[in-house]
Structures are given as structure tokens and as C-alpha cells.
Amino acid sequence: MHRLYTTSVASVFPHYVAKVERKGRTREELDAVVTWLTGLSPAQVQQHLDAGTTFEDFFDAVELNPDVSLITGSVCGVKVQEVEDPLMRRIRYLDKLVDELAKGRPLEKVLRSS
């Protein structure tokens, strides 16, 4: 089991916020990305953050957007679509979306639809 699986989402989330805000994006845009991916409202995400939910429990508790297969590309040199472990792939989907938002990609393109 990867160490990241037992890491709390709350310990990583501030880094996501800082990354997008450093690049001129907003917390609201990040919330929109997380909502698109997980189906959770910002308030529900905050409940998970407050509870110290681990990445494993967080992704077990959500139903991913049916269009996640449209998320392709590399995160840390690894193609997300080629990650074999289902939980790690879900985490990398989130990482990829945060990266795209921070790099200035229009929100409408980050939030893919078929």
C-alpha cells in the first residue's frame, strides 16, 4: 500500500489551493474541479477535510464523474491513463486537473464532457 493512501486529504488540499492561487486561479475554480471529479459539493469536501479523511476513504466515498476517462496526460512523468492501481489513478486524476487549472487552461476545458 502506498503511503499516500493513508495520508489525509486535508494535509494535501492546502497545497492544491496554494498552487492554483499562485497562478492566479481561485479556490472557487478549484472547488468546481473537485465537484466535477467527485460529485461532492464544496461543503461536503470541507466535511472530509475537517474529518481528516484519508485519500483511500475519500475516493471510496465518491462516485467519479463518468467522463474521467477523458483525462489523459502526464503527472510527474507518469501517464494517468496508464496507472494500473485504481486508487492511485483516481488520485492522479485529481492531480492532473489541479495542474491544468494552475497552468491556465480554461475551466470549461478542464471540466471535460463527452
Q: Tens of pLDDT along 9-18?
A: 999 999 999 9
pLDDT score of 2: 85
The pTM (predicted TM-score) of the whole model is 0.93
Those residues whose C-beta lies under 8 Å from the C-beta of residue 65, and which sit 6 or more positions away, are 36, 37, 38, 39
Q: Is the pLDDT of residue 114 over 80?
A: no
Q: Of 83, 87, 107, 84, nearest to 97 (Cα)?
A: 107
Handedness of CA 23, 76, 81, 53 (dihedral sign): negative
Taking the alpha carbons at both ends of the chain, their separation in whole angstroms is 33
In the chain the domains, ranked by start, together with CATH numbers, are: 3-104 (1.10.8.290)
Task: Please give the pLDDT value at position 113.
Answer: 80
